[in-house]
Amino acid sequence: MSNTDFTIFSSTQLREFTTEVFVHFDVPYDDAILAADVLAYSDEHGIDSHGIARLKTYFDLLRTGKINPKPEIKIIREKSSTATIDGDNGLGLVVGPKCMDIAIQKAKLHGSGWVSVCNTNHYGAAGYYPVMALKDDIIGLSMTNTTKGVAPFNGAEKMLGTNPLAIAFPAYKEPPIIIDLASSAVAYGKVEIADRKNEKIPEGWCIDKNGYSTTMPSEMINGGALLPLGSDKDGSGHKGYCLASMVDILSAVLSGANWGPFTVPFAINSALPEKQVGKGIGHFFGAWEIDGFRDKNEFKTNIDEWIHTMRNTLPRPGTSGVLIPGDPEREAYQLRMRDGIPLHKEVVNSLMDIASYTGINIPS
């Protein structure tokens, strides 16, 4: 891919366009701003797979009436530190932040807050949600289940999603620690990129449609599956399967959403699961107030020391040494807020399609 495949946009341009597109489909203005903020978080932090590159899919779902633009989210069960919420089939980008906020409010009152969510849709990057909690010195956590793409350990077919887990810890003088990881060995996007470039992929990423390990991206794409984190027996692939299961159960079985292979797909042209076992997909949000455990300033000062200690690890030869979770995204943020956000021509084309359908121009 040459540089001419990319066009640079400012974050403000993308936020304005995204907001207007959501408003066009009757999403209330404040909700549209919020949804645009969730997508912009990804684009600004270099998480290209979860930002405006996906606007076209949200657009398709709104255009065809598959997502409710004006959801009334409802608490359907509650105790002081827990709740289950029905997202009324709204945008995950709107339902997600509102539910995370309820978890945060509960943590302020009771030390911790936990919200499971059913009847919702794709919520963007998992890392957005714990970051919401940082300003209140709260440790935030988020999980979501996603459409099947990953084989369970020793399985030969897709049964679970890439089911991510994110958690963030505030520091004092240092930037926060932000963990955001999918429970698969790699993201599907990496396989797609290798396929486009006609390159092989490493052992341990994928199996083909018969369950054999493959290094050919096309063999995964045509009926194969991703492998869980840890990949195979030697690498402890059962652990990635366990993590994906945990995320699936907390997000979807606990909330009454669709789980495992029945999880509703995100893209509009994907095959629907053979049956529904719940409502929509599921998220799970958590919040722990640090002051419920330890003086928050002591904690944050200790986190600074923890960060310094890890940064001072002897580096492995041939590497740039140990990073702190969140470092790569912070580096991308600084570059992109200064130089702009490069969008691949395929993404730009998808925005042009949206612009021509809605009559909304990308601001210049």
- Comparing CB distances to its own copies, the nearer of 212 and 357 is 212
Beta carbon of residue 220, minimum distance to its own copies (angstroms, whole number): 14
CA distance 133 to 136: 6
Beta carbon of residue 65, minimum distance to its own copies (angstroms, whole number): 28
- Comparing CB distances to its own copies, the nearer of 61 and 250 is 250
Beta carbon of residue 22, minimum distance to its own copies (angstroms, whole number): 30
CA distance 339 to 320: 24
Beta carbon of residue 47, minimum distance to its own copies (angstroms, whole number): 14
Beta carbon of residue 246, minimum distance to its own copies (angstroms, whole number): 6
- Comparing CB distances to its own copies, the nearer of 309 and 361 is 309
How distant is the alpha carbon of residue 139 from its chain centre? 18
Q: Is 244 helix (H, G, I), strand (E, B) or coil?
A: helix
- Comparing CB distances to its own copies, the nearer of 186 and 360 is 186
CA distance 176 to 359: 41
Beta carbon of residue 256, minimum distance to its own copies (angstroms, whole number): 6
CA distance 125 to 286: 16
Q: Which residues, at least 6 apart from 196, have a Cβ–Cβ distance to it below 8 Å?
A: none
CA distance 67 to 170: 35
State the burial class of residue 257 (Cβ atoms within 10 Å of its Cβ: 0-12, 13-18, 19+): buried
DSSP state of 287: E
- Contacts of 352-358 with CB under 8 Å at 24 or more apart are 353/56, 354/21, 354/55, 354/56, 354/59, 355/17, 357/59, 357/63, 358/20, 358/21, 358/24
- Comparing CB distances to its own copies, the nearer of 316 and 338 is 316
- Comparing CB distances to its own copies, the nearer of 14 and 182 is 182
DSSP state of 255: T
Nearest Cα to Cα of residue 262 among 271, 274, 253? 274
- Comparing CB distances to its own copies, the nearer of 74 and 77 is 77
CA distance 130 to 58: 23
Q: Which two tokens stand for residue 202?
A: 């490493």
Beta carbon of residue 335, minimum distance to its own copies (angstroms, whole number): 20
Residues 27-40 as b/e (b if ≥16 CB within 10 A, e otherwise) read beeebbbbbbbbbb
- Comparing CB distances to its own copies, the nearer of 43 and 248 is 248
- Comparing CB distances to its own copies, the nearer of 61 and 247 is 247
- Comparing CB distances to its own copies, the nearer of 17 and 205 is 205
Beta carbon of residue 360, minimum distance to its own copies (angstroms, whole number): 38
CA distance 4 to 227: 34
Is residue 258 within 8 A of residue 279, CB to CB? The reply is: yes
Beta carbon of residue 258, minimum distance to its own copies (angstroms, whole number): 11
Beta carbon of residue 37, minimum distance to its own copies (angstroms, whole number): 24
